[in-house]
Structure 1
């Protein structure tokens, strides 16, 4: 589970509250061991600057002025300690980037056959995903695929191609909806990669969903026009 999401559950705070307090625009940049500011309640935590105006803060963050005064036990709004912090309970900060977007990536990869170039269209999201990925750790490609369908085996991504056979799963070279795409070991992924086939398109391309292809915990929806350069082992059905 992403670090910020686990803190939300522990302290009863919203994800936005923690992101506003720590100026987090991309959830994938938050890692275990980082120092995180945890506000006492949901809302906005602000640092007092010279000539701060409480009424302006109340308007900016959609908070009742008296609530700010009461929560922070302010006796004189005109005499606030510069550098101290004020909590704006239930305040609303700026709209946060959900991490959803679309881009075209020209991916240059190397494999044992030489240099290959493949064009992808990727739709991605950094929003945390709820649910289970079985025995696999959150944030990785194996977790995502096990979250999407039943996976009784274990092992790194590249090992799935061999491990699935032990459980009687059919395999092949053609993409099918619901199949698992398995990539072998490469310079960019020393443990291989797996993805879930969402659709097979009329033009011969196919779309997969995956995690940790372009960042830890990030879910991609990637349309693949050619498998050249993918070090593709095949598909598990």
Structure 2
């Protein structure tokens, strides 16, 4: 093959390069477990900053299963149509913008978080900039949305719209994630090491079985720790989001809990 390549003319070689560039412009890469923006950039001979710009990524975090565009104009084209919705199969489609959550999108179209999750076969509540979501029914997205977000699993009187936990702590983050996904919890459960007993007293189910959207709780450190279960992986491991564990207060971090350790934690449902 090398001899054949050297035999081509300069003009045809240039055409081949241009054709290859066009192909790269539309390349989609599905993130695999263990990959980072840096390793993906190295694989495609591009830069981390270019990938971030093309996909409207504001930090250096990517997740297994996330589809990202490599090369091309990326975000400039998608941003022009990101707020538009097209009618399809009795619903609409929505392109996720940076900073949006499922709760925000559900409210925009007057549907529930669970309806969006079901319509798109999502196995968690994580969404990504430039991801296209199908919106079942609902409004056209131009108003504030007539419906509520997902009906809370529990309707304890102790649930609250106001987050009174200390800013940037693990409890503060989990309260916000539950609110974003339509599963409000109490703002009066005190420190993380008290959450299992307080949640049980409020009527929530507490066991050692993880579920997407449940709260992982343990007694590590002087005040314990809580995290939000974002996804259950095919191998039984968990992807959790948390604050103030391996990062400073106020910084969201993602960590994988091995399947062998999953049952050693409490889970609040």
Higher relative contact order (CA 8 A, sep 6+): 1
Give yes or no for TM over 0.5.
no
Q: Which has the higher strand share?
A: 1
TM-score, normalised with respect to structure 1: 0.41
Q: For the pair shown, which has the larger CA radius of gyration, 1 or 2?
A: 1
Q: Which has the higher helix share?
A: 2
TM-score, normalised with respect to structure 2: 0.37
